[in-house]
Amino acid sequence: MFGKEKPEAGMIKLGRDGYVSAEDVRHLRAKVFADGVVSREELQTLFKLGEAAPGGDPEWPQYFAEAAADFFLREEEPNGYLTDEEFAELKAMVVRDGAKASPLELGLLVKLMEQAVSTPDELSEFCAEQIRHVVSDRKGGPRITREVADLIRRYLYAAGGSGTVAVTRDEAELLFDLHDMTAHAVNDPAWSDLFIKAIAAHLMAHVGYQPLPREEALRLHAWVEDQTINPAGFFNRMLSGGLAGIKEAYGQKSVQARKNGEDEIQAAIAEQVTAQEADWLADRIGRNGKIDNAERALLHYMREIGADLPPKLTALASRAA
């Protein structure tokens, strides 16, 4: 059994080159935090290392998020709850001296949303704000990498997030903000795939579809995790069979759907997109004066899913045809 070094002693050599290797992580686990991060002194030490060495092998961000999240969620009974006081403490550590969350710290915020039984509503808002900063402040200009796209996906479907599997309006606004911010960048293909599917999930809530609880969705949302699905094929499957086609495309064979009953399913198919929701989409797509491929796919979906669309959206859909 390895002994446990004092945190300061274990950090003397680590982080000097701004990078934490897989071997360094093994050292942290075995020597520095052998019992986990169990005190605020050790938590501060871990954050200082993250500040000095934001880069590293994949094991480093995984360990940082795991160790810090475990501290917050096991600090008080009952376990699994992030209190308002703990969130305030965490927020202060992240935004120290006017700083913004690093990708390392953003990974921790998402980890907490995934693992916590309950979190303050402000955590979701704070996390969204930090996602914007991570993308906008990227060296070389705004761009969404595969790693950041994965963090955004995890944020959207975290069990501790707001709402259900249907993407909320605030989350949809975040997605469009990121989309507009990186319109001229070469983003990872995972981002455009996620953007289309997540906005579609938001719109589904306005055509009578009863969304699954996020906890169940985490087990069933193969459509999100399958990064090989191309947007065109995805939408073709959605549009080919009404509501049944939508559910098949999303891979959701749920008990909830059966509970709805045949009459409710038929009613859902007949639902129209509300004028308010359609106008929101038209305003968001038209905000920068251009319609790109991802937005065109969304408009195609909206045009096909319901007749008699409100005038503003009908006009935009005609421009995109």
Distance CA 6, CA 120 (A): 33
* Orientation angle between helical segments 169-181 and 121-136, nearest 10 degrees: 10
Tokens for 96?
Answer: 């120290």
The 8-class DSSP code of residue 32 comes to I
Task: List the domain boundaries for the chain.
Answer: 1-108
Reported as type and span, the H/E element at residue 56 is: strand 55-56
Distance CA 55, CA 81 (A): 29
For 175-185, the pLDDT digits (tens) are: 999 999 998 89
pLDDT at 123 > cutoff 90: yes
Tokens for 121?
Answer: 């509503």
For 249-301, the pLDDT digits (tens) are: 444 444 444 444 444 544 443 345 566 777 788 888 877 777 888 888 777 76
Q: 304 falls in which pLDDT band (50, 70, 90)? A: low
Q: How far is CA 97 from the centre of its chain?
A: 26
The distance between the two most distant Cα atoms of the chain, rounded to a whole number of Å, is: 71
Beta-carbon neighbour count of residue 261 at 10 Å? Answer: 10
Residues 124-135 have a mean pLDDT of 94
Look at residues 243, 256, 201, 242 and name the one whose alpha carbon lies nearest to residue 223: 201
Which range among 122-126, 178-182, 193-197, 200-204 shows the weakest confidence by mean pLDDT?
A: 200-204
For 57-114, the pLDDT digits (tens) are: 999 999 999 999 999 998 777 888 899 999 999 999 998 877 788 889 999 999 999 9
pLDDT at 57: 94
| 177-181 LR contacts (CB < 8 Å, sep 24+) | 177/132, 178/131, 178/132, 178/135, 178/144, 178/152, 179/294, 179/295, 180/287, 180/288, 181/132, 181/135, 181/136, 181/142
- Whether the link from the prior residue into 58 is cis, omega within 30° of 0, is no
Helices (H), 53-188: 59-74, 84-94, 103-115, 121-136, 146-156, 169-181
